[in-house]
Amino acid sequence: MSIPNTQSDAPLDEAESASGNPVRRARARRRSKQRRRMANVAGLLLALVLTGATYSVFAPAQAAEDDNESAAEAAGRQLYEHSCITCHGSNLQGVEGRGPSLIGVGEAAVYFQVHTGRMPLTRQSSQGLDKPAVFSDEEIDQLMAYVQANGGGPTLPSGDLRDGDLAAGGELFRLNCASCHNFVGEGGALSSGKWAPSLRDANDRTIYAAMLSGPENMPVFGDNQLTPEQKRSIINYVQTVAEQADPGGAGVGRIGPVAEGLVIWVVGISALMFGIFWMGSKA
């Protein structure tokens, strides 16, 4: 070694060992043996740390690349595994007696169920109840991305969904929806404890998603049954009716402007008839 070693006293020891003193020589040998052992242990530790660091840097990147999972899907997977997996299964396949398969239902069904607060289902009832959504809009997007990526199915268009023809929408609504939801979308009872809810609080996307996914007893209105254009017309009609300023007075089923007059007329005539008969019976 030509470079002077300032970190250890090795050259000194070697010099000593060369000096010929047998006690010193033995001590020097023992010390250099200890040093070598410590160097080996340090080397081993360094190798372990390096391996670990290298692995932790490269392994997750590799896994993410393998799955090709976007950030939204990964976040959706976490939400799903926390809130939905017990009823819908680890691969969306459903769980016997708890929840149906979500394969092929698509992001539209997820939007409908989660945004209206029907899912996650909290208790068994004849029908998922419409309640405030548990998840934020961003979380709903993530759940949609996850189910869409892993199960496939109908997708929900973005942008304005209300730009259809109003009159055509009214016609289509009466033809396809009024039998259950009533002529002005107020809803009504169906058989065996089920009901078609009022459409007043549904937003555009919820209405579109309901048609695409057909929850519960509601039929699926795929793009063959109602074209996207027709769906937009229906949405326009439903929202226009919902937004119409209340004309005042008693609702009386909203059967028309004659409603209140008709009621007063019927009640009033009855009262008059009663009075006449009462006076006649006195005479």
The footprint of ligand HEC (CB under 6 A) covers 83-84, 86-88, 98-100, 102, 105, 109-110, 113-114, 116, 118-121, 127-128, 130, 143, 176-177, 179-181, 190, 194, 196-197, 199, 201-202, 206-207, 210-211, 213, 215-219, 221, 234
As measured in angstroms, the least distance from the Cβ of 177 to ligand HEC is 3
Distance CA 250, CA 188 (A): 19
Q: Tell me how far, at minimum, the Cβ of 144 lies from ligand HEC, in Å.
A: 9
Neighbours of 179 (CB within 10 A): 12
Distance between CA 268 and CA 91 in Å, rounded?
66
Distances (CA, A) of 110 to 107, 154, 259: 5, 10, 41
Whose Cβ is closer to ligand HEC: residue 22's or residue 132's?
A: 132
Smallest separation, CB 243 to ligand HEC (Å): 15
Contact by Cβ (8 Å): 219, 150: no
Neighbouring C-alpha atoms within 13 Å toward the C-beta of 39: 7
* CB atoms near residue 127 (< 10 Å): 15
Name the residue nearer to ligand HEC (CB basis): 181 or 232: 181
Closest approach, Cβ 168 to ligand HEC, in A, equals 13
Cβ closer to ligand HEC: 170 or 197?
A: 197
Which CB, 10 or 166, lies closer to ligand HEC? Answer: 166
As measured in angstroms, the least distance from the Cβ of 71 to ligand HEC is: 18
d(CA 78, CA 100): 20
Which tokens in the block code for residue 83? Answer: 């809130």
Q: Which is nearer to ligand HEC, 102 or 184 (CB)?
A: 102
Residue type, 75: A
Shortest approach of ligand HEC to residue 52 CB, angstroms? 36
Give the pair of three-digit tokens for residue 184. 């002005």
By the 8 A CB rule, do 136 and 142 touch?
no
Instruction: Considering the complex, state which of residue 9 and residue 171 has its C-beta at the smaller distance from ligand HEC.
Output: 171
240 is written with which tokens?
Answer: 């226009």
CA distance 175 to 194: 21
Nearest-approach distance from CB 87 to ligand HEC, in angstroms: 3
Radius of gyration (C-alpha) of the chain in whole angstroms:
38
Q: Which is nearer to ligand HEC, 17 or 213 (CB)?
A: 213
